[in-house]
Structure 1
Amino acid sequence: MSWSAISILLLFISALLLRSGVAQEASTTAPSAGRAIGTVTAINGNIISVKTDAGPNAAVTVSDSTRIVKTAPGQRDLKEATPIQLQDLQVGDRVLARGRPGDEAGSVTATSLIVMKQSDVANRQQRDVQEWQRRGAGGIVRELDAASGGITISPTPTQTIAVHTSGATVFLRYPPDSVKFSDAKKSSFSEIRIGDQLRARGNRSGDGQSLNADAVISGTFRNIAGTVNSIDTSAGTITVMDLIRKKSAIIRVTPETQMRKIPPEVAQRIAMFLKRPAAAGSAEQASSPPPQGGGQQMRAGGGSRGPGGGPDFQQIIRRMPAASLPDLQQGDAVMIVTTDAPADQQVIALTLLSGVEPILTAAPTQASAANLLSGWSMGSDAEGGNQ
């Protein structure tokens, strides 16, 4: 396989991996005097420690006169809110505290406290995941038209989808060091760049070639394919010979890094599919043993299937066994999505796939690669988190 082809392959694999962070509608609100919004980290008597969405910690003091109500995620008013007591709060709950500034910097004496229970937030996240699955499409940004708000994306190297945005479209953007949806910040059309990985949610046309977006999330990341030269477990880093840029890269693996290892038999079957002509790929089956006993099959005609009849590799990949840094060995082939950084600077691994040597050494035509990637693209109905 040429390394330009591998680069294309990695772009679309990274688009798949970015999807695992799509879990909820995120919004961040900067802290202001007498107001704090974030997640409860501790409760000591009548003092609530809150990790605010803007970053700093806030100490919220609750008195007997503080009005505390519970509301459901997504509610736009408090008509359905129910009163609760301070003892009903738990670590992990989301809160919005309003009142007056406390005596200490970053503290709030609350007159009202609006609470979303952690379990309710988790349920909402799951519903949001399903909504992005059902009404989502995504891929690599190929064209931008600021005048019309149009974005052309490529779910596969041979397919494009026209995404139409409007003044009502919500734009979100991943920060440079994260693919967690909860870390996404409010953004705008102007921040999207050619080559970004993007996912849109909205109503698709009957032929699937266009989408009217009510929400868009995008990010800029680096893709690395190569072999592991060295591993420093104490520093949490690996050195990889990046075969795309033809130079070594130092990559830091953190607790947030999503790592998966593709079993040899699954990697071989993916490679076999890559080598098939496009016509054969839509008709033949490539059954794989069920990862972790999951009953998963790679086949074009049914079972795990992506758009257009291709294998649903998203389902397969997210069911792969989790991996860790000590599992890697010198010489292992890896595909990695990392933070973007200037040349020669260390990057952080966001997602890492090992066991991919058969995939990298396969020699597909562009059409056969598209057959594979149609199932891995962000536009598939498959979804799943790695966290």
Structure 2
Amino acid sequence: MRVLQHTFAVALIFSATSIVYAQAAPDASVAAARTSQRGTVKSITGTTLVIATDAGVQYTVSADAPAKVVVLAPGSTDLKTAEPGTLESISVGDRVLVSGKPGDANAIMALRVIVMRSADIAQRNAAQQADWQHRGSGGIVSAVDPGTGSITIKVGSRTLQLVTSPKTIYRRYAPGSVKFEEATASNLQQIMVGDQLRVRGDKSEDGTSITAEEIVSGAFRNVAGTIASIDAANSSLTVKDLATKKNVVVHLTPESDLRNLPAQMATMLAARNRGGAAGAGGQRPAGAPAAATPAPAEGAAAPGPGGPGAGRGMGAGRAGGGDLSQMIARLPATTLTELKPGAALMIVASQGAPSDPLTAVTVLSGVEPILAATPSGSQPMSLSPWNLGAGGAEAGGGGPQ
């Protein structure tokens, strides 16, 4: 999945900007004659701005006097903190919230322009991402207690308690969507057992709990199985789910992340999942593909601590059920045309209604040894829906991307 950290920050920033605008809104009689639009500055000619909204609609903004220009720091929710600006201080790429009188077609005669400079947004994005890497963790929700506001998540074989408060920020992926920009403001009540979740906050000294400042969740489904058929024309796969023994249709989008696990790495993970047994032996679950004897993958490195990108993801992919996300961003990319019927896959996908097809977030091939090493009736290692920055769950994870 493509990196979405920039979108993540901008979504929060302009949610805050909307609050600012609402706080400073005029009375109803004046508001009726006004319009407002927010977007990115595409061009500047004299006193005229062309902005594009997030939906791709362009507006021509006349910023002649008496238009008031103010500069707001990213993340600020109070217009009183804004600093006076000028039209000349606005640059292409800046984010703006324009309010004024509607003109013909997509024209606005600006009365006020609130500016968030692209350079300030980039600086904030970098700081946010560093904080997610330093103080982020994540896993699968195993319990939610609305009474106490606590959430329990499974991180590999461990459990982690999340302590929420009225100040906790919640965001949630839209049903059936793999795009973070479509995530919306959420709350504790929307988080369900089985959801995948990322959290940012301070850990307790013993590492068993986190005081949650920000939570991002989604109803994602993990599927492990073999390819029954491929529909290249419709960019979809039919996969026989080894858990349910039923076929499921999985659609791929340009945002779907297809990766291939090198044979040597798959064998090592299989041994860990089995509890340290040899990579090619052992009893395989009914219906699981037999593990071929793997050849060493050129350049493959053992997962785990040390080396570039060590410790990626929600968990460490250890024995007893872990999370392969720590290494996905470093794996070779693949394409739908390279997949063949009968091949084993591990998939994390989003879904709208229970009867809707799945939409692939991550598709991992080359996992035959892992599925063969999974004891009958147990869950294989899980994937997470996010490609994560450095610093795993036990060392602090990367932010949603």
**Which TM-score tier does this pair reach, normalised by the shorter chain?**
0.7 to 0.9
In the alignment, is the contact (CA less than 8 A) between 1:334 and 1:356 conserved in 2? Answer: yes
**Deviation for aligned residue 1:175:** 0.9
1:102 and 1:378 map into 2 onto residues whose CA distance is 52
- The structure with the largest alpha-carbon Rg is 2
1:135 and 1:349 map into 2 onto residues whose CA distance is 28
Which one-letter code corresponds to 1:362 in the other structure?
A
Aligned to 1:273: 272
**Deviation for aligned residue 1:365:** 10
After superposition, the Cα gap between the structure-2 partners of 1:366 and 1:131, relative to the gap in structure 1 and judged at 3 Å, is: farther
After superposition, the Cα gap between the structure-2 partners of 1:44 and 1:85, relative to the gap in structure 1 and judged at 3 Å, is: closer
Instruction: Tell whether 2:240 aligns with 1:229.
Output: no
Aligned to 1:94: 95
Map Cα deviations across residues 64-119 of structure 1 (whole Å, 9 max, x no partner). 334445554234557575745469533x5422112233344x65332232333445
Aligned to 2:303: 298
RMSD: 4.0
After superposition, the Cα gap between the structure-2 partners of 1:135 and 1:384, relative to the gap in structure 1 and judged at 3 Å, is: closer
2:251 and 2:395 map into 1 onto residues whose CA distance is 30
Alignment of 1:1-387 (within 5 A): 21=4, 24-25=8-9, 26-27=11-12, 29=15, 34-40=35-41, 42-43=42-43, 46-52=48-54, 55=55, 57=57, 59-65=59-65, 66-68=67-69, 70-76=71-77, 77=79, 81=83, 83=85, 85=87, 89-90=91-92, 92-104=93-105, 108-156=108-156, 158-277=157-276, 297-299=302-304, 302-303=306-307, 304-305=310-311, 314-343=325-354, 345-363=356-374, 378=393, 380-383=395-398
In the alignment, is the contact (CA less than 8 A) between 1:292 and 1:320 conserved in 2? Answer: no
**Deviation for aligned residue 1:174:** 1.2
After superposition, the Cα gap between the structure-2 partners of 1:86 and 1:184, relative to the gap in structure 1 and judged at 3 Å, is: farther
2:243 and 2:176 map into 1 onto residues whose CA distance is 21
- Tell me which moved more, 114-123 or 345-354: 114-123
- Structure 2 regions of 5+ residues with no counterpart? 22-30, 278-294, 385-389
**Deviation for aligned residue 1:385:** 7.5
TM-score by length of 1: 0.75
1:371 and 1:235 map into 2 onto residues whose CA distance is 27
In the alignment, is the contact (CA less than 8 A) between 1:237 and 1:253 conserved in 2? Answer: yes
Report percent identity of matched pairs.
35
After superposition, the Cα gap between the structure-2 partners of 1:178 and 1:338, relative to the gap in structure 1 and judged at 3 Å, is: same
- State the aligned residue count: 350
**Deviation for aligned residue 1:124:** 2.5
**Deviation for aligned residue 1:193:** 1.0
1:86 and 1:168 map into 2 onto residues whose CA distance is 37
In the alignment, is the contact (CA less than 8 A) between 1:139 and 1:379 conserved in 2? Answer: no
SS at match of 2:333: coil
- Structure 1 regions of 5+ residues with no counterpart? 1-16, 279-288
**Deviation for aligned residue 1:60:** 4.1
SS at match of 2:64: strand
- Tell me which moved more, 125-134 or 338-347: 338-347
In the alignment, is the contact (CA less than 8 A) between 2:171 and 2:217 conserved in 1? Answer: yes
In the alignment, is the contact (CA less than 8 A) between 2:139 and 2:196 conserved in 1? Answer: yes
Map Cα deviations across residues 293-350 of structure 1 (whole Å, 9 max, x no partner). 6x954246x5534799877954422111222222222222111122224455322112
After superposition, the Cα gap between the structure-2 partners of 1:327 and 1:121, relative to the gap in structure 1 and judged at 3 Å, is: farther
1:238 and 1:369 map into 2 onto residues whose CA distance is 20
SS at match of 1:64: coil
1:346 and 1:108 map into 2 onto residues whose CA distance is 42
